[in-house]
Structure 1
Amino acid sequence: MQLYTDAATEPTTDHSAAGLLLINAGQQQQFKQILPDCDNHTAEFLAAIAGFKEILTQFGPAQTVFFYTDSKIVAESVSKGYSKNFNVELQTLLQLQDQCTVAITQWIPESQNRGAHELAQQGLHLTP
């Protein structure tokens, strides 16, 4: 299964939203949700967390997940297993990934993450 996540943050208000694109057995599911007000880096971690929670809720832990993010800080933090500024979010994400049979994280350029990006932008317009 493939998971694409992205976050959008309104810079003046820190209003944030997540876009999740999940592809499983050729079926695509799209999700957008409001996140707590935060900076964009935190929102990127929260979007990834939301994506893995969605997978575990819908499909259970016995999954092989290819996780794609255009956030270098998320991808690098997962790779290193360390983040100085986002350690709480990283540890939550790693615990969720550990519940999957295999979780492979890969950074992709924003141009290859348009689906999740558009969903995150739409999420900014949801009302809480």
Structure 2
Amino acid sequence: MITLYVDAARDIHTGQTAAGTVIIIDKIQSQQKTALPVTQDNHEAEFCALIWALQQLPKKIDILKIYSDSQILIDAIDKQYAKHYQPFVDNIIKLLSPYPLVLNQWLPEKENLGAHHLALQALQQHKLSQ
């Protein structure tokens, strides 16, 4: 089983986006963060963060549990639809296809602090490197 906590951070002035994820596989935790391309809004940033996080995972695990503090992201995965973000949803569905069972759950930001702080760190590091 893989447990994935994911979050995005976005600079509202520049659109610069970053992602952070905490991945737990067989009780072993890893933390990853990265800068992402510029996004149009916070929702798009969350979709991009999940796409990036899913690309970091091994495909040979049966159960994937996804946790995010983005309600629109979780709803879009459940419905396999998001009016303004359908290309992102389609990409996510494709990336989820190797996993026989995918569980996802919204959680409050205060319960997703690990991924949240990683995303903020990546955004700050990107700003400093420019």
Fold conserved between structures, TM > 0.5: yes
Using the aligned pairs only, state the percent identity. 34
Q: Distance in 2 between matches of 1:104 and 1:95?
A: 15
Aligned to 1:46: 48
1:105 is displaced (CA, Å) by: 1.1
Deviation at 1:118, TM superposition (A): 0.2
Provide the residue aligned with 2:69 in structure 1.
70
Could you list the runs of 5+ residues in structure 2 that have no partner in the other structure?
Answer: none
- Tell me the distance in 2 between the aligned counterparts of 1:99 and 1:72: 24
Deviations for 1:77-116, whole angstroms, at most 9, x for unmatched residues? 1111111100000110011111112111111111110000
Structure 1 runs (4+) greater than 4 angstroms displaced: none
Q: Is the 8 A contact 1:19 1:33 kept in 2?
A: yes
- In 2, the alpha carbon distance for the partners of 1:62 and 1:81 equals 21
Letter in 1 for 2:125: L
Moved more, 106-115 or 94-103: 94-103
Look up the match of 1:24: 25
- Measured in 1, the distance between the counterparts of 2:60 and 2:43 equals 26
Secondary structure of residue in 2 paired with 1:99? coil
Aligned partner of residue 125 in structure 1, secondary structure: helix
Q: Structure 1 pair 78/64, CA: closer, same or farther in 2 (3 Å)?
A: same
Report the residue type matching 2:22 in the other structure.
L
Instruction: Give the Cα separation in 2 of the matches to 1:73 and 1:18.
Output: 17
Cα offset, 1:51, TM superposition: 1.3
Aligned to 1:10: 11
* Superposition pairs of residues 68-107 of structure 1, within 5 angstroms: 68-107=67-106
Q: Distance in 1 between matches of 2:18 and 2:33?
A: 7
Count of aligned residue pairs for this structure pair: 125
> Structure 1 unaligned runs (5+)?
none
Helix, strand or coil: the match of 2:125?
coil
Give the TM-score taking structure 1 as reference length: 0.92
Q: Which amino acid aligns with 2:67?
A: Y
Q: Is the 1:61–1:101 contact (alpha carbons within 8 Å) kept by the matching residues of 2?
A: no
* Cα-Cα RMSD: 1.2
SS in 2 for 1:30: strand
